[in-house]
Structure 1
């Protein structure tokens, strides 16, 4: 059976006025009917305040125009993630007696100031409350606003002649962004034990689980077994299982909405007779689990909208104003169900904290486990559906500790085989250089401590001591021990305190990279609890070196 790509519907529902095409929003508040997320309401009335009606109208028109190319969740992101921070930036300008209310007032200089303003924003909720926005958050926020402005620029709206965009406002963002870590083997075992308990209860008919929890259990199971993204799993239909050329296999076909690509996963097929299958407590293959889920949700098919009847992940809402309605499971509800799943089973991570369970981390978990079993990176690439093997190696297939140990043993053996040079009286610290034993003693005793951390070799060529601590973050001689974190974060928060007194261009060039280096390259090397304690101590009682000192 041929596997065909989804056909992209490029038809736009246009309104005609005496033979003339009219594609304008019906007002400041309107509803968009998304084929995936249903009817979504948008209200631009709050954006009209403070004399910004002209600018708000253009942003409204841009969002309305983009409804043909973006799904409902993306349109909500343009409004809530792209526009609202920019409006707060404009409020700050208004407070400084600078009014920006028209589209033609937005130019390159204003966008550069907005990028500098984003550097100052702090997380207001969650576990990272009080921390600066991550580079990923700032990049997403800016790119959403950029998309709206580009739409107006291409549509012929009266934009500024000086409107242009930085070529690369977030250099090395992909490298600096936090990598999605795979779950450890003990964490995987705890997840599987919880899944097994729920699956037994479901198929033995003694489960007191909500419809949402039943879907979440199968969603986690399919993600662990196939490594697919959440949206691809939520978009699975009742004909997703298809025949395979081999009799003992079957294909699970999923569609990736972004890119309109098709992915097929080969699954083992049980050849047991139907009578033997009936005696099994729970299904033994992923295909059988999928068929069981189809059977569970089948009674709801006739109650959901016709355009959603082919989908598998559907459920009946049991609370609030939509109680009794049958709807498709979306990402937000799935994440809520995952949190309930963790709470029901009291799942914990390796540090004893509640496990942060999400489908995004199950994908690298699948990749890491497959690589551990096969040691074949190209097989992992094919399983994940990547076009480039470098993407798989860099972001998904993480080498296990055993593989790193084996690699170190091989390298050590090769070095000892091809060289007889032995260095006496020296020890190796990290991977970037060797330190004489006497210098090592000074380093550990604090004799080579600097204003922010420690230095492996603080002496310059003329035997003077280097005091350029701002250059430490580019110097290979810089060392940070756990005892230095208090001093380092005291400097970190002192720098943030002086931010308002520093020219924005100077901050972006000199001080911003230092803040990012501490957050991404240094803090990530230490236990999270030690870093959090040092941050708190630095805020409450700064190190004397940085207490009350002006930069």
Structure 2
């Protein structure tokens, strides 16, 4: 079997006028259609106010021309992320009496001022609302507006300022600030798989309330993601011929495509025998291939009513709301996100901390990689399963260290130097490995050498070798450690702080001391058994620790 690259249709409709190419948008509002995302509407009427019609027209024409080389989804993100943020900067300049109405007014100095202005902005929505823009967010805005302006320079150099240029790297090392996608823990995996198995029984064995079409697609999307480690886009674009023959009689290929680079990836999967294949409609499939075949048969009745370009895709659904209600379309990322959110809420999924969480397909990929690495111990097999070109990519971003590796390393190291250590503390090696604390600090930590006024510190030394004695800062410090023996001292401080509240200015309390009380109640108390917390509270009320018998200085 030969896996060929996917054919890309790059044909465009360009009109000519006496030999001169004319490629202008039909108006201020237009639709850009795309094979992968369908039609997306653009409305540039929003940018015509305050005398900026000329620059708005230039950017509108640029976005329209870029449709030949970029997906409409990417262009829409350029508008939402780049142009809208740049327009807010222009509004700020207009309020200061400076009006930018032409592209010729945009030069390197203005770009530098734009970058400086972004450093002073706060997020107005999302989980980071009220906080300053993160560096990755500012980088995304910069890349979007830079891409548009560079295309303007290529498309119509005469309309652009000659001094327009961009800093080479305004946000160095920004990639290091993006946290890697963490795999799910074993207990969280069990919770997710249990929820999926419950829904599979509902689908195949008619147990419980019947699921909607979107939820059926969601269940199989999560099943395939957990089993193969494929990304969301590759799974949404599975086609009906994605299962192909393997050279071995007991194996099959699941072929997925990746848009970036137009690459295909073939995952070898176990082939079911004929008896298993005949029963996939009446019982839960036992392998990936049969899960795919069931899903393909489930959406097969929708093929005739779907658009011709969508008929070969497996993830077909009936639109249940909006102007296109009843229409057959492919499941998009936003549809998948909403369905996964409903799935997580319906099963009341909770993580290891007892908090509700929403399943993320981007975390299922490193979860599969970590599990495979723990089973085999072979990083090359993980690289092949994920389809990475370099093993360094797999090791850096996906395959976490096998469970127990830090403990084993710390135990071996301790055995090598144990003959030189006179004072031993039971369990210090494992505590150092689990807490990622230097082994040299554990003796002092457990032996009360690193005690603070409220708890303990894993490393009380500063860069200039001085000792930290700011106990209020402990509650924001990652080196703070609280053992069961420290609860009496901690709650003595807790009740002393409450007794002094009447002497503290309300604003100062809300800013400094209130968050400390809240952190003890929520973040620290929840880590210990309730009976231990109650005993420490009672002891602190009756006989406070000597450190906190007197008033706070």
The alpha-carbon deviation at position 86 of structure 1 amounts to 1.4
- 1:200 paired residue number: 201
Give the Cα separation in 2 of the matches to 1:480 and 1:63: 55
Question: Given the superposition, is the C-alpha separation of residues 399 and 274 from structure 1 closer, same or farther in structure 2, using an over 3 Å criterion?
Answer: closer
Give the Cα separation in 1 of the matches to 2:256 and 2:440: 49
Assess if the C-alpha contact under 8 Å between 1:456 and 1:479 holds in 2: no
Give the Cα separation in 1 of the matches to 2:277 and 2:258: 37
Corresponding position: 1:21 with 2:26: no
Higher relative contact order (CA 8 A, sep 6+): 1
Give the Cα separation in 2 of the matches to 1:412 and 1:285: 45
425-434 or 279-288: bigger deviation: 425-434
- 2:258 paired residue number: 256
- 1:541 paired residue number: 510
Q: TM-score, normalised by structure 2?
A: 0.79
Say which of 340, 357, 362 aligns to 2:359: 357
Question: Given the superposition, is the C-alpha separation of residues 104 and 237 from structure 1 closer, same or farther in structure 2, using an over 3 Å criterion?
Answer: same
Give the Cα separation in 1 of the matches to 2:15 and 2:261: 28
- 2:487 paired residue number: none
Assess if the C-alpha contact under 8 Å between 1:435 and 1:456 holds in 2: no
| SS of structure 2 residue aligned to 1:254 | strand
Give the Cα separation in 1 of the matches to 2:366 and 2:8: 29
Question: Given the superposition, is the C-alpha separation of residues 434 and 22 from structure 1 closer, same or farther in structure 2, using an over 3 Å criterion?
Answer: same
Q: Deviations over 1:361-385 (max 9, x none)?
A: 1111111111111111121111111
Aligned CA RMSD, in angstroms, stands at 3.5
The alpha-carbon deviation at position 121 of structure 1 amounts to 2.8
Give the Cα separation in 1 of the matches to 2:100 and 2:251: 62
Q: Deviations over 1:320-372 (max 9, x none)?
A: 22110001100011000000101111111222222121211111111111111
- 1:185 paired residue number: 186
Assess if the C-alpha contact under 8 Å between 1:248 and 1:270 holds in 2: yes
Q: TM-score, normalised by structure 1?
A: 0.79
- 1:49 paired residue number: 49
The alpha-carbon deviation at position 539 of structure 1 amounts to 9.4
The alpha-carbon deviation at position 486 of structure 1 amounts to 5.7
Give the Cα separation in 2 of the matches to 1:421 and 1:272: 66
Corresponding position: 1:40 with 2:45: no
Give the Cα separation in 1 of the matches to 2:110 and 2:35: 37
Give the Cα separation in 2 of the matches to 1:304 and 1:11: 23
Could you list the runs of 5+ residues in structure 2 that have no partner in the other structure? Answer: 483-505, 514-553
Assess if the C-alpha contact under 8 Å between 1:487 and 1:542 holds in 2: no
Could you list the runs of 5+ residues in structure 1 that have no partner in the other structure? Answer: 466-476, 489-521, 527-536, 545-551
> Aligned ranges for residues 435-514 of structure 1 at < 5 Å?
444-445=451-452, 456-457=461-462, 483-484=472-473
Q: Deviations over 1:293-327 (max 9, x none)?
A: 01000000000110111100010012222110001
Assess if the C-alpha contact under 8 Å between 1:425 and 1:437 holds in 2: no
- 2:549 paired residue number: none
Give the Cα separation in 1 of the matches to 2:439 and 2:164: 45
Give the Cα separation in 1 of the matches to 2:212 and 2:469: 53
Question: Given the superposition, is the C-alpha separation of residues 55 and 276 from structure 1 closer, same or farther in structure 2, using an over 3 Å criterion?
Answer: closer
- 2:387 paired residue number: 385
